[in-house]
Structure 1
Amino acid sequence: MAATDLRHTSTSAEEDSAPVLAKLSMLDRFLPVWIIAAMVLGIVLGRAIPSLAGHLDAVQVGSVSLPIAIGLLLMMYPVLAKVRYDRLDRVAGDRRMLATSLVLNWLIGPALMFALAWIFLPDLPAYRTGLIIVGLARCIAMVLIWNDLACGDRQAAAVLVAINAVFQILAFGVLGWFYLQVLPGWLGLDTVEAGFSIGTIVVSVLVFLGIPLVAGFLTRTFGERAKGTDWYEQRFLPKIGPVALYGLLFTIVVLFALQGHTITTQPWSVVRIALPLLGYFALMFGVSFAWGHRMGLGYAKTATVAFTAAGNNFELAIAVCIGVFGATSGQALAGVVGPLIEVPVLVALVYVALAIRRRIAPATNTSATAQEVA
């Protein structure tokens, strides 16, 4: 088994029921430690070298930070290279899963973040606005990593991420107008004037999803055609697997190097912003997981739906906040605190999901895994 591939390849029910964490490599088992170390390293670098953030942020393609884009591409490519694209039609035919994901992502998620932002930050309009924007940016990037680590359904994740990408282009601006101007007006609350560039959204989707998706599809297509499925699954994928986690750690270092000064000089602001985010991630994951389980989606698809609903596209949220309100704005700070809270929380939720898997689906793990690696 590849060092960073958390899926079980054994067909033995007895082996599959063994503790999941005992089967992980040292890199995987101590992933939270490496992530925390990467966050600390990024903050230290940002503080020790004040000009570093400016140099990193100055290298952009459109509104996308090039170092972050490189890290995300390295992180997402191996995951998307593992997807069995010939099976996507089966996943797309699961209307219950698709409908559940759409409702969670585009109705419940933004509404929940709106409510939490107003409950926790009624006196801080800039931070509140930034959080609402974070809630509108549905995850199309890191969710693939969390889903893979939690042994979710890769094919389902690819479909749901693609759907989120399309909806993001079509609905982000409309939802921003609704939650920042229309709904607050109806409720007698303060409104916010904000213009969202469709170009910013399109560039974000194309860079963070389009490039690794095309690369993954072409790699599997030509790799299997040239060498066969066995070679591709058993020899090629294990070699590129660790790149995903290295890309994740690099991305975290860059993100926190960019905002290390802001985070360390405004600790109370970070705490105020973190509270509604913690509530959001816990509620979205819990509700989504319970909903999927109740509908009988099975562990793998339920985990995928839950992580897709709980995660957010903080890259897009940060880009929009900076583009509309400025790099030093409270809105931008709220966007930056997003990954500060999301990364460790969702890593913890990976372990929660794996624990749930051992309790609710010990007998089905084997058959599901056998189908995935067949």
Structure 2
Amino acid sequence: MSAPVGTPAGPVAGRLSFLDRFLAVWILIAMAAGLGLGRLVPGLGDALAKVTVTGVSLPIALGLLVMMYPVLAKVRWDRLDTVTRDRRLLLPSLVLNWIVGPALMFALAWLMLPDLPEYRTGLIVVGLARCIAMVIIWNDLACGDREAAAVLVALNSVFQVIAFAALGWFYLDVLPGWLGLERTALDVSVWEIARSVLIFLGIPLLAGFLTRRLGEKVGGRTWYETRVIPRIGPFALYGLLFTIVVLFALQGDAVTAKPLDVARIALPLLAYFALMWGGSMAVGRAVGLNHARATTLAFTAAGNNFELAIAVAIATFGATSGQALAGVVGPLIEVPVLIGLVYVALAARRYFPQPAATAAPEGPARV
């Protein structure tokens, strides 16, 4: 839909599509439409939730796959080696995602929800599930590094399979025991986590890789990037808006029936997103990353895999549990917050060294 990072920036309005130009408006409309449908159409939520994939509603699963595929089809896979050699990016990402993130959510949940153990446990589970899905589109909208995002998301997926259950045991059972706090058991299998990763990351990643590989083989890179990508690119936003509508329609009753509970859950989430994103952006600047890679570091550290967190909460504690509600509130808070942070990331370019000839575009015009 627009020039990738590295092309000279022209007039913004001339390059942004109508959908891109009013992206925040469409997302707010999608959220309101979903909540309205969930309240006005009897039985819609139950109908949407009847068929699931790894505990996630099938329409949401399809929306996620459609949303992620075009972005992954834009990745230049032959450039991944430049990312894997960048220790300034990889090491901070691993530390932020698997040490700082879970510890921060644990601390915020206990500080802000000491009297609500179910919601507190749900938020801790959310903090353990590092993002492998929606973060790809936030990164792309903020003009982050696509290749770096692909590598970091792949790393998160591997660590998620290996570490999720162990971290759940540590933060819900071992650490509270050491601190004299209430302990909780979390029963989740490695296969359940691996299956979620394979579906929500593996399928669109493989499809994106094959699309670029075959497209470049048939028509060459220039043809692929000027003819194919502009055709498939808009489906990322269509998939995002569809996912938001379905997600909010599914949870409309739960959200509107317990507004005070939702507000209590939202407070630690808002603090978490602000601290993780802002801190990660500052770390990226401090270690010498350029704006695109610092942006990728920030979004991959701040985002969470709510699909997995919700599935685990439902499987372990039940669909009507407070833990499940906390997981559900997560994306309802994440969507507006991270779309706001997209614009913050774009404005933050001025604080990063950047040659004038390779300035990034001034708006979220890359999807």
Report the TM-score when normalising by structure 2.
0.95
1:184 CA displacement: 0.5
1-side partners of 2:357 and 2:318: how far apart?
48
Work out whether residues 7 and 359 of structure 2, in 8 Å CA contact, stay in contact via their aligned partners in 1. Answer: no
Which residue number in structure 2 is paired with residue 272 of structure 1?
A: 264
The DSSP-based 3-state class of the residue aligned with 1:50 is: coil
Which residue number in structure 2 is paired with residue 167 of structure 1?
A: 159
Which of 121, 130, 138 is the aligned partner of 2:122? 130
Work out whether residues 63 and 200 of structure 1, in 8 Å CA contact, stay in contact via their aligned partners in 2. Answer: no
Which of 110, 114, 128 is the aligned partner of 2:106? 114
Moved more, 79-88 or 355-364: 355-364
Say if 2:43 is the partner of 1:69.
no
* 1:154-233 to 2 correspondences below 5 Å: 154-233=146-225
Which residue number in structure 2 is paired with residue 301 of structure 1?
A: 293
Q: How big is each residue's C-alpha offset from its partner over 1:57-82, in whole Å with a ceiling of 9 and x where there is no partner? A: 11123423211110001100000000
2-side partners of 1:196 and 1:43: how far apart?
30
Work out whether residues 75 and 150 of structure 2, in 8 Å CA contact, stay in contact via their aligned partners in 1. Answer: yes
1-side partners of 2:221 and 2:254: how far apart?
48
2-side partners of 1:348 and 1:365: how far apart?
27
Work out whether residues 284 and 297 of structure 2, in 8 Å CA contact, stay in contact via their aligned partners in 1. Answer: yes
- Opposite residue 339 of structure 2, the aligned amino acid is V
Which residue number in structure 2 is paired with residue 240 of structure 1?
A: 232
2-side partners of 1:199 and 1:365: how far apart?
48
Work out whether residues 200 and 319 of structure 1, in 8 Å CA contact, stay in contact via their aligned partners in 2. Answer: no
1:362 CA displacement: 4.9
Work out whether residues 121 and 127 of structure 1, in 8 Å CA contact, stay in contact via their aligned partners in 2. Answer: yes
**Structure-2 change in CA distance of 1:347 and 1:22 (3 Å):** farther
1-side partners of 2:74 and 2:310: how far apart?
29
1-side partners of 2:149 and 2:5: how far apart?
18
Moved more, 304-313 or 58-67: 58-67
Which residue number in structure 2 is paired with residue 332 of structure 1?
A: 324
Say if 2:52 is the partner of 1:80.
no
Q: Which runs of no fewer than 5 residues in structure 2 stay unpaired?
A: none
Work out whether residues 60 and 246 of structure 2, in 8 Å CA contact, stay in contact via their aligned partners in 1. Answer: yes
1:7 CA displacement: 3.6
Which residue number in structure 2 is paired with residue 291 of structure 1?
A: 283
Work out whether residues 285 and 352 of structure 2, in 8 Å CA contact, stay in contact via their aligned partners in 1. Answer: no
- Opposite residue 81 of structure 2, the aligned amino acid is D
2-side partners of 1:120 and 1:97: how far apart?
32
1:336 CA displacement: 0.5
- Opposite residue 76 of structure 1, the aligned amino acid is M
1:365 CA displacement: 6.9
Which residue number in structure 2 is paired with residue 353 of structure 1?
A: 345
Q: Which runs of no fewer than 5 residues in structure 1 stay unpaired?
A: none
Report the TM-score when normalising by structure 1.
0.93
1:90 CA displacement: 1.5
State the aligned residue count.
362
Say if 2:248 is the partner of 1:256.
yes
1:193 CA displacement: 1.6
Which residue number in structure 2 is paired with residue 41 of structure 1?
A: 33
Work out whether residues 55 and 310 of structure 2, in 8 Å CA contact, stay in contact via their aligned partners in 1. Answer: no
2-side partners of 1:281 and 1:319: how far apart?
21
CA RMSD of superposed structures (Å) = 1.7
- Opposite residue 290 of structure 1, the aligned amino acid is A
1:360 CA displacement: 3.0
1-side partners of 2:356 and 2:333: how far apart?
33
- Opposite residue 121 of structure 1, the aligned amino acid is L
